[in-house]
Each structure stands twice: as structure tokens, then as C-alpha cells.
Amino acid sequence: MRKPGGRVLIAPSILSADFANLERDLHRIANADWAHVDVMDYHFVPNLTLGLPVVEALQRVSPIPLDCHLMIEDPDRWAPAYAEAGAHSVTFHIEAARDPRTLAKDLHAAGAQACMALKPGTPFAPYEELLDVVDMVLVMTVEPGFGGQSFMADQMPKVREVREAIGRRGGQIRIEVDGGVAASTIEQCAAAGADVFVAGSAVYGAEDAAAAVEELRGLAQACAGHR
């Protein structure tokens, strides 16, 4: 089991980067742990961002591993290609997956970590047994689709529930939070048991993105140490 107080990871979302300068903006966050890439398809969410060809291009130039968050329909069909492209981790939404157990195995076979994401209205309990096959659980702290939304503190009990389930079962499973994570909200996420923190507007909206990453890491690490 991952010990409470283990290393926290900061994953800035390039959703808030300058899409005309993605390579430059990846290098602005080279001190972060992962670059979070939000893939949206106009169907699972009412927004469209980027897809596999762009992820393949980012993979060639990124100084840090890519953490792909797929907000798409039919991830069983489309997600493994993101793993084959070299993404470190590939997140599918449990609401969209037909056979999440097989999908997680397919992602592992293609060389990526597998993560299941839960929208704010999706309970964790029906999916607890999938902890056997995933490396990470993403608890959304906004409705997926857009950056810059307000953090939903009412998702913290779900983070605690996932952390407790991981503790009961053992294993090295991370919990990621995504949406509205900033200096003012990250500590409650860490205190609830999250250890991977996605932040888009809080990092790219800062004057110095690298300094914002360090600030978030410091706040989360201090809190994780007291869990």
C-alpha cells in the first residue's frame, strides 16, 4: 500500500495553454511531473479539443510524461491508440466504457498506466472492484468539458471513500483530482487522500507557470505529510 505522505504529483493541464504554442508551453512546465492532456470529442462533453495526431506530436517534444484524459465516447475503441502513442497514463471515463476491465488490460498491454475517471454525479462504490485493474482513479472536481470552472468541494467525501478502499485492498493506486485545483483548494484534496493534482488555469494563468507548479507541490506535499 502507498504510505500516506508519499510523493505528490503535479500535472498541469495544457487545456489552459496557448494552443498555437503547445511545445513552448510544455517547456514552461518542465518542472512538473506530468502534462495533463484533455481530449474532448463534442459527444461525451460539449467541447472539442484535440485528438491522437496532436498527442503523437506532443509526445515527440514533451519534456515530461503525458497524462491523457479522454473525455470521449467509446474509449474501448479509441483509448489504446493513446497508449501506443506513448502516453504515460490513459484515463477513460467509467460512464463511457463498455468493458473497463478489458480496456484497462488493453492499455497495460500497450504500455500505459490505466486510470478510470468518475464525473461528479457518478458514485465510486459500484466500481470499487475495478481497483484490481487500474493504476489510478480520477475524481472530477468539476463537470468535465471546460477549464476555469469552480472547484466542487462536495467531491471530497468521494476522494476519501476511494482512499479508504485503496487502503483496505492495498496496492499502489493513485488518486487524481481534476478541476478548479488551485492554491486555495489543493490542501483539502491532499487531506482527503488525493496524490495527483491537475491544474490548468491556476498554472497557465500565473505569471510564472513553473513557480505556480512549485507552490502547488509544496502545499500538497505538506498536507499529504500530515494525513
Residue 178 interacting with Co ion (CB under 5 A) = yes
Query: Residue from 72, 116, 142, 206 that binds ligand 5RP (CB under 6 A)?
Result: 142
Q: Which of 25, 33, 38, 67 is catalytic?
A: 38
Region near Co ion per CB under 5 A, out of 41-49, 129-137, 156-164, 174-182: 174-182
> What number of chain residues touch ligand 5RP (CB under 6 A)?
23
- Grid cell listed for 162: 476511494
Q: Is 15 in the site for ligand 5RP (CB under 6 A)?
A: yes
199 interacts with, out of Co ion, ligand 5RP, none, CB within 5 to 8 A per kind? ligand 5RP
Is 74 annotated in the active site?
no
144 forms part of the interface with ligand 5RP (CB under 6 A):
yes
Q: Are 34 and 67 spatial neighbours (Cβ–Cβ below 8 Å)? A: yes
The conformation of residue 155, written as its DSSP 8-state character, comes to G
Of the candidates 170, 168, 158, 169, the residue with the CA atom closest to the CA atom of residue 194: 158
Q: Is 38 a catalytic residue?
A: yes
Helices (H), 47-133: 52-61, 75-84, 100-109
The stretch among 52-60, 82-90, 139-147, 154-162 that binds ligand 5RP (CB under 6 A) is 139-147
Grid cell, residue 219, equals: 502545499
Cα–Cα dist 115/226, whole Å:
26
User: Of the candidates 47, 119, 51, which has an alpha carbon nearest to the alpha carbon of residue 79?
Assistant: 51
- Which secondary structure element, helix H or strand E, spans residue 30, and what is its range? none
In angstroms, the CA 209 to CA 218 distance is 14
Nearer to Co ion by C-beta: 106 or 178? 178
φ/ψ of 137, rounded to 5, equals: -120, 130
Annotated binding site: 13, 36, 38, 69, 145-148, 178-180, 200-201
Q: Give residues in contact with ligand 5RP (CB under 6 A).
A: 13, 15-16, 36, 38, 69, 71, 142, 144-149, 178-181, 198-202
Annotated binding site for a divalent metal cation: 36, 38, 69, 178
- Which residues are known to be catalytic? 38, 178
